[in-house]
């Protein structure tokens, strides 16, 4: 078993070489010096990876999210979040958490959520007396919800790599996403009460005010429901749901909100192409690197070693969580997910762990690395947007990170949090 390409990849990542290059360069060198393998195999692996019907969902959902953001949807969701939590202590921070939940079904990306929340709410929080590091920490930690609420990009990638139902995985993320929201709202409230962060309003909105606000955001809120109901009843596949979401979002923006204009189209296309290209390039590079691992039987050997280490699924999940938390601190979440799913998913299935639950655990766990050093892409994003020192953001993230870790433990220990809803809806 040849391991030098794996060590080379880790070394390249450690010196901040772009993830795609860090994975494809060792694979190229392995094929180059392997002797028996033709070099055109690399090009074949890259092209073969893109020939995937499930992966078509990625650009469609990214495009749908970009359209929704340009169509005035975010402003109505902000009003809705304010209506529900603006009267609590730390109202602006509470709104950030709830808005991240509402936007999760549109952006499908934690990084997109983090950047948007930081620009929208971060400066206002600082002006109203919030510690700058806390403002950056709240927006970074809140954005983690976006990867679990369907249709998260990480869920689509895991479903493709683990060969599981995208529809079941989408529905499995709903309850953990809600639990994440509640945990962060509680953590923010406790910090806000201790520091004296004031609410935005002195009272909760009246019934008529709340009703009007819900109606204004109603069209936006129907999209995730439309997707789940359509997949559940077999009207369309998850991939087709992405294309339908684009049409649906366009109709809402043009005819309902009347804010989507031709001038927005170049920006929407540019953002979609950039995000899709980044994700697909990493997936293609990881597929090439994964072929090296399969050729050398590394996943099989790793699976056998883990099974020999313990046959208890709970002990295995504990070990996997520790491993993923460590890896997530060093490697960007999507890249780590692509790299580790082919290795760990078969082990989970072999020990009787449901691959749907395991997918939620993997996606949530690795995304937590976005708020922890040294990589911490989400924290870097919000820190840069708010001109806050990264160390300060990380320090202020600790109570929020504790809440997120608690939810991870619950999702790991209680399979029904992930499986009850898809078992009820999809059977």
Report the distance separating Cα 367 and Cα 361, nearest Å: 10
What's the rounded mean pLDDT across residues 299-312? 72
- Total domains in the chain come to 1
Decide if pLDDT at 220 tops 60.
yes
Lowest mean pLDDT among 44-58, 135-149, 269-283: 44-58
The whole-number pLDDT of residue 254 equals: 84
Residue 6 falls inside a structural domain: no
The whole-number pLDDT of residue 277 equals: 80
Confidence (pTM) = 0.75
For residue range 232-255, list pLDDT tens digits in order: 677 777 677 778 878 888 888 888
Question: Percentage of residues in the chain with pLDDT exceeding 70?
Answer: 90
Report the distance separating Cα 333 and Cα 259, nearest Å: 34
Residue 293 falls inside a structural domain: yes
Residue 303 confidence class, pLDDT cut points 50, 70, 90: low
The whole-number pLDDT of residue 37 equals: 67
The whole-number pLDDT of residue 255 equals: 81
Q: Which of 304, 290, 203, 252 is nearest to 76 (CA)?
A: 252
Decide if pLDDT at 108 tops 60.
no
For residue range 375-390, list pLDDT tens digits in order: 677 887 788 778 888 8
CB atoms within 10 A of CB 6: 18
> CA of 292: how far to CAs of 6, 76, 295, 318, 420, in Å?
9, 48, 5, 28, 37
Residue 109 confidence class, pLDDT cut points 50, 70, 90: low
Question: Percentage of residues in the chain with pLDDT exceeding 90?
Answer: 15
Average pLDDT value over all residues in the chain: 81
Residue 17 falls inside a structural domain: no
Residue 7 falls inside a structural domain: no
Parent domain of 354: 37-426
CA 127 to chain centre: 29
What's the rounded mean pLDDT across residues 125-131? 86
Among 92-106, 225-239, 260-274, the range of highest mean pLDDT: 260-274
Residue 105 confidence class, pLDDT cut points 50, 70, 90: low
Residue 123 confidence class, pLDDT cut points 50, 70, 90: confident
What HEC string does the chain produce?
A: CCCHHHHHHHHHHHCCCCHHHHHHHHHHHHHHHCCCCCCHHHHHHHHHHHCCCHHHHHHHHHHHHHHHHHCCHHHHHHHHHHHHHCCCCCHHHHHHHHHHHHHHHHHCCHHHHHHHHHHHHHHHHHHCCCCHHHHHHHHHHHCCHHHHCCCCHHHHHHHHHHCCCHHHHHHHCHHHHHHHHHHHHHHHHHHHHHHCCCCCCCCCCCHHHHHHHHHHCHHHHHHHHHHHHHHHCCCCCHHHHHHHHHHHHHHHHHHHCCCCCHHHHHHHHHHHHHHHHHHHHHHHHHHHHHHHHHHCCHHHHHHHHHHHHCCCHHHHHHHHHHHHHHHHHHCCHHHHHHHHHHHHHHHHHHCCCCHHHHHHHHHHHHHHHHHCCCCCHHHHHHHHHHCCCHHHHHHHHHHHHHHHHHHHHHHHHCCHHHHHHHHHHHC
Residue 124 falls inside a structural domain: yes
Decide if pLDDT at 151 tops 80.
no
Residue 409 confidence class, pLDDT cut points 50, 70, 90: very high
Residue 188 falls inside a structural domain: yes
What's the rounded mean pLDDT across residues 181-187? 94
Please name the residues in contact with 113: beta carbons below 8 A apart, sequence gap of 6 or more: 100, 103, 104, 107, 142, 143, 145, 146
- When comparing pLDDT for 25 and 110, which is higher? 25
Residue 179 confidence class, pLDDT cut points 50, 70, 90: very high
For residue range 42-101, list pLDDT tens digits in order: 777 777 777 766 667 778 877 877 787 777 776 777 777 778 787 888 888 888 888 888
Residue 414 confidence class, pLDDT cut points 50, 70, 90: very high
The whole-number pLDDT of residue 3 equals: 79
Query: Where does residue 157 rank: exposed (0-12), middle (13-18), buried (19+ CB within 10 A)?
Result: buried
The whole-number pLDDT of residue 375 equals: 63
Residue 27 falls inside a structural domain: no
Residue 15 falls inside a structural domain: no
The whole-number pLDDT of residue 300 equals: 65
For residue range 24-56, list pLDDT tens digits in order: 888 888 888 765 667 777 777 777 777 766 667
- When comparing pLDDT for 410 and 7, which is higher? 410
Residue 354 confidence class, pLDDT cut points 50, 70, 90: very high
């Amino acid at each position: 078993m040849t391991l030098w390409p794996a060590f080379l990849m880790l070394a390249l990542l450690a010196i901040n070489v772009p993830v795609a290059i860090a994975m494809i360069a060792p694979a190229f060198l392995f094929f180059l010096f392997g002797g028996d393998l033709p070099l055109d195999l690399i090009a074949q692996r890259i092209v073969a990876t893109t020939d995937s019907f499930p992966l078509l969902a990625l650009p469609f959902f990214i495009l749908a999210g970009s359209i929704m953001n340009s169509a005035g949807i975010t402003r109505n969701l902000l009003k809705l979040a304010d209506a529900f939590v603006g009267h609590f202590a730390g109202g602006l921070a509470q709104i950030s958490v709830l808005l991240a939940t509402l936007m999760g079904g549109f952006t499908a990306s934690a990084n997109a959520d983090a950047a948007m929340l930081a620009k929208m709410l971060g400066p206002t929080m600082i002006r109203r007396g919030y510690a700058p590091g806390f403002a950056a920490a709240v927006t970074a930690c809140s954005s983690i919800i976006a990867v679990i609420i369907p249709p998260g990009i990480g869920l689509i990638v895991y479903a493709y790599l683990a060969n599981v139902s995208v529809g079941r995985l989408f529905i499995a993320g709903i309850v953990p996403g809600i639990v994440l929201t509640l945990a962060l709202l509680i953590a923010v409230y406790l910090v806000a009460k201790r520091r004296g962060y004031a609410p935005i309003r002195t009272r909760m909105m009246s019934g008529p005010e709340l009703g009007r606000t819900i109606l204004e955001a109603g069209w936006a809120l129907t999209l995730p429901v439309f997707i789940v109901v359509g997949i559940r009843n077999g009207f369309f596949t998850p991939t087709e749901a992405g294309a339908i979401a684009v049409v649906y979002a366009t109709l809402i923006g043009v005819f309902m909100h009347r804010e989507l204009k031709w001038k927005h189209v170049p920006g929407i296309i540019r953002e979609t192409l950039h995000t899709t290209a980044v994700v697909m390039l990493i997936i293609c590079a990881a597929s090439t690197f994964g072929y090296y691992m399969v050729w050398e039987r590394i996943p099989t050997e790793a699976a056998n070693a883990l099974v020999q280490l313990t046959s208890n699924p709970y002990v295995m999940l504990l070990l996997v969580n520790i491993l993923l938390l460590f890896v997530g601190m060093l490697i960007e979440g999507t890249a780590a997910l692509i790299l580790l799913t082919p290795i760990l998913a078969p082990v989970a299935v072999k020990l009787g762990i449901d691959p749907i639950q395991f997918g939620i655990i993997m996606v949530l766990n690795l995304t937590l690395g976005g708020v922890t050093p040294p990589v911490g892409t989400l924290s870097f994003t919000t820190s840069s947007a708010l001109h806050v020192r990264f160390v300060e953001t990380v320090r202020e993230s600790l109570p929020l990170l504790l809440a997120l870790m608690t939810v991870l433990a619950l999702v790991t220990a209680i399979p029904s949090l992930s499986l009850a809803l898809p078992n009820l809806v999809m059977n």
